[in-house]
């Protein structure tokens, strides 16, 4: 299965909470002109105070009695008695309400600016360079407009509230509600302070956003290789905690094949709380999962699901021409994972890390009007047992160490197995002389169909399975030659570095 990495360039998330943007609808005074933004302010009911007005303006006399309309009215109707178009008319006592002030003038509405419901035109966002920036810019613009509309609506409602006993969301007692141990809210509350949003920027200004989590008290953060790839050669890295504290960081080591990287905070705080690491070998299909990340730049997002499958062979790439594929025998989850979730923890129901969110299956049709897709319920995470070993090697040596059998296999998609090629890369021998495969008697043309009890249907599947092991592990290989099935034991060798 070929998938896409999902850590791409996005601008920072807006500070206001996202509020759904209302669909276009006719205002009380007429239809909204074509091209107007969809974020609408609600009509103010008659008698409601104006937003931002300290005192209601005094009532005015009805022009029907011969007096001129108050300042701000467009003038009497042609017969001199009817109320001006667009105004609600006189109150029962014959007085007129003050003229309404348009919301944000007539920006973007195409009208005269004298009616409630005129749309607010969000200034065009400045797209950042790097892959995926346009998608996020469109999304952020919608969220900001929606957030403003929601915020003003709340203010108007609050101003009209007389003697309400409702507790607002900002009340300190409401924000300190305890959640029972074992609930998703409790797990999220304990795990979020140990996650970070990572921003990586290259020397040319290109960059992206992803996620990471605290690995130890020394300030090491584990994430995906493709999250920090832009900053490998002299770029800039920052890590921001949910409390808003931001730290510069440096790359300790990265493994492109495993898609794992370790960065370290500069001037790391002394109160870091590493997340508890679970045992991915003991995960079962159907177990609950909790994913934390920054999808499309929305930091500190929590989603839930289950383990949909184990040992799912995945070859992933970020789609760039210079990127090499990463291989994993992944945990599959239906927890919502999107661009920006990369490198974030996949937790079990107790809050222990069982995987690193790394890739999603793409439908090929983009989301938000572009070529970048979002979650369709097929997310993949690197098992934490493998990631822990890789991270420890990177901290110790700065380079990854890979297990190997010492044979080149075809990377073409197949259902028959992993075929040993006739020739290796760059004209080298397909079977390394004196390597594990050579010692076990494997030859070019042999088709490996099993590694231990795991079925091998292709070369990428074999690589992913081998990399779940450590150098020196003993494995049983089942292969076919000339239509005959054979089984042999071999001890895995090692290779240091990505080259």
Respond yes or no: is residue 226 known to be catalytic: yes
Rounded mean pLDDT of the chain?
Answer: 73
Of 50-59, 75-84, 329-338, the poorest mean pLDDT is in 50-59
DSSP bridge pairs for 60: 96
**Whole-number Å distance between alpha carbons of 485 and 159:** 80
Which pLDDT band holds residue 376 (cuts at 50, 70, 90)?
A: confident
DSSP state at residue 251: E
**Whole-number Å distance between alpha carbons of 171 and 154:** 15
The average pLDDT across 125-136 equals 31
Question: 116 with 149: CB under 8 angstroms?
Answer: no
The catalytic residue among 202, 259, 318, 469 is 259
- Please state the length of the chain: 499
pLDDT at 182: 84
Whether 308 has a pLDDT exceeding 90, the answer reads yes
Respond yes or no: is residue 486 known to be catalytic: no
Strand ranges (E), 318-399: 326-333, 345-347, 353-360, 379-383
Whether 460 has a pLDDT exceeding 60, the answer reads yes
Write out the two tokens for 142: 């919608």
The average pLDDT across 81-86 equals 50
Tell how strand 301-317 and strand 2-5 pair up. Answer: parallel
User: For residue 316, what are the contacts with CB-CB under 8 A and spacing of at least 6?
Assistant: 2, 3, 4, 5, 259, 325, 326, 328, 358, 359, 380
The average pLDDT across 402-419 equals 90
DSSP states of 252-272 as a string?
EEEETTTTEEEEEETT--TT-
Give the CA distances from residue 127 to residues 4, 55, 115, 137, 433, in Å, rounded to whole numbers and listed in that order.
22, 41, 33, 6, 53
The average pLDDT across 217-242 equals 94
Respond yes or no: is residue 422 known to be catalytic: no
pLDDT at 426: 82
Of 30-34, 142-146, 171-175, 227-231, the poorest mean pLDDT is in 142-146
The catalytic residue among 119, 326, 342, 358 is 342
pLDDT at 385: 96
The average pLDDT across 31-36 equals 42
**Whole-number Å distance between alpha carbons of 492 and 437:** 9
Question: 41 with 103: CB under 8 angstroms?
Answer: yes
In 3D, which of 423, 422, 417, 427 has the Cα closest to residue 477?
417
pLDDT at 93: 56
Write out the two tokens for 399: 């380079």
Which pLDDT band holds residue 360 (cuts at 50, 70, 90)?
A: confident
**Whole-number Å distance between alpha carbons of 403 and 399:** 13
Whether 226 has a pLDDT exceeding 50, the answer reads yes
Tokens 């276009």 map to which residue? 24
152-182: pLDDT as tens digits: 333 333 344 444 444 444 544 445 568 888 8
Helix (H, G, I), strand (E, B) or coil at 114: coil
Task: Write down the H helix ranges in 376-424.
Answer: 384-397
285-303 as b/e: b if 16+ CB within 10 A: eebbbbbbbbbbbbbbbbb
Whether 7 has a pLDDT exceeding 60, the answer reads no
Whether 38 has a pLDDT exceeding 70, the answer reads no
Whether 30 has a pLDDT exceeding 90, the answer reads no
HSE of 61 in the Cβ direction (CA atoms, 13 Å)?
6
The catalytic residue among 60, 226, 254, 469 is 226
Whether 106 has a pLDDT exceeding 80, the answer reads no
**Whole-number Å distance between alpha carbons of 422 and 261:** 34
Question: 498 with 256: CB under 8 angstroms?
Answer: yes
């Amino acid at each position: 299965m070929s998938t896409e990495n999902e850590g791409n360039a996005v601008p920072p998330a807006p500070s206001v909470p996202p509020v759904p943007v209302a669909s276009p609808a006719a205002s009380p005074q007429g239809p909204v002109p074509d091209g107007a933004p969809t974020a609408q302010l609600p009509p103010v009911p008659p008698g409601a105070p104006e937003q931002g007005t300290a005192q209601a303006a005094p009532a005015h006399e009805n022009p029907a009695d011969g007096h001129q309309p108050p300042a701000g009215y467009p003038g009497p109707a042609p017969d001199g008695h009817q109320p001006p178009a667009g105004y609600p008319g006189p109150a029962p006592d014959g007085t007129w309400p003050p003229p309404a002030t348009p919301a944000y003038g007539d920006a973007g509405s195409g009208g005269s600016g004298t009616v409630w419901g005129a749309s607010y035109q969000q200034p065009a966002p400045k797209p950042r360079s790097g892959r995926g920036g346009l998608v996020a810019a469109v999304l952020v613009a919608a969220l900001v407009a929606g957030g403003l509309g929601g915020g003003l609506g709340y203010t108007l409602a609050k101003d009209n509230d007389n003697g309400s006993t409702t507790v607002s969301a900002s009340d300190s007692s409401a924000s300190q509600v305890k959640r029972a141990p074992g609930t998703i809210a409790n797990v999220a509350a304990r795990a979020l302070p140990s996650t970070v949003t990572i921003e990586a920027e290259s020397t040319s200004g290109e960059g992206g956003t992803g996620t990471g989590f605290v690995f130890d008290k020394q300030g090491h953060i584990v994430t995906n290789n493709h999250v920090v790839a832009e900053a490998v050669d002299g770029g800039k890295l920052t890590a921001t905690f949910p409390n808003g504290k931001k730290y510069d960081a440096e790359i300790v080591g990265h493994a492109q094949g495993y898609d794992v990287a370790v960065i370290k905070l500069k001037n790391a705080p002394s109160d870091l709380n590493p997340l508890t690491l679970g045992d991915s070998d003991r995960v079962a299909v159907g177990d609950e999962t909790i994913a934390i990340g920054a999808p499309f730049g929305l930091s500190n997002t929590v989603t839930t699901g289950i383990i949909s499958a184990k040992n799912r062979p995945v070859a992933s790439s970020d789609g760039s021409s210079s990127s090499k594929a990463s291989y994993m025998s992944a945990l599959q989850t239906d927890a919502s994972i999107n661009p920006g979730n990369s490198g974030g923890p996949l937790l079990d129901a107790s809050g222990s890390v069982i995987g690193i969110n790394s890739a999603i299956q793409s439908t090929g049709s983009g989301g938000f009007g572009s070529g970048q897709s979002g979650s369709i319920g097929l997310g993949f995470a690197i098992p934490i047992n493998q990631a822990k070993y890789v991270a420890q090697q990177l901290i110790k040596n700065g380079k990854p160490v890979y297990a190997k059998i010492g044979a080149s296999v075809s990377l073409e998609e197949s259902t028959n197995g992993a075929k040993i090629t006739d020739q290796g890369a760059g004209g080298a021998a397909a079977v390394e002389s004196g390597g594990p495969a050579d010692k076990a008697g494997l030859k070019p043309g042999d088709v490996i169909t099993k590694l231990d009890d795991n079925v091998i249907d292709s070369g990428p599947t074999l690589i992913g399975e081998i990399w779940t092991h450590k150098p020196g592990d003993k494995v049983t290989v089942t292969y076919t030659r000339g239509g005959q099935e054979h089984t042999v034991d071999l001890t895995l060798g090692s290779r240091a570095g990505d080259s």
